[in-house]
Amino acid sequence: MRGVGCRVRARGKGRERDAGMATSEYAVGILAAVAFAMVLYKVVTSGAVSEQLAAIVSRALNAAV
């Protein structure tokens, strides 16, 4: 904790605080989001999941109201 306090005090001495993310941080965030989307797509389009989703939709469409 001591190092964090020193760093904050140093910023207060004429240095501006960081207002947002740097371009490299945006790039890493976008890559992580794309990787997660790819994994999710692979899971949803797999055979077992597709069959289960089709069964759920079929049951919902054939449900007695």
Q: Where are the domains of the chain?
A: 18-65
Q: Is the per-residue pLDDT at 61 higher than 80?
A: yes
pTM of the model: 0.51
pLDDT for position 64? 79
Question: How far is it, in rounded angstroms, from Cα 28 to Cα 6?
Answer: 28
Average pLDDT of the chain?
80
Q: Is the per-residue pLDDT at 33 higher than 90?
A: yes
Question: How far is it, in rounded angstroms, from Cα 8 to Cα 23?
Answer: 23
- Fill in the amino acid letter for 32: A
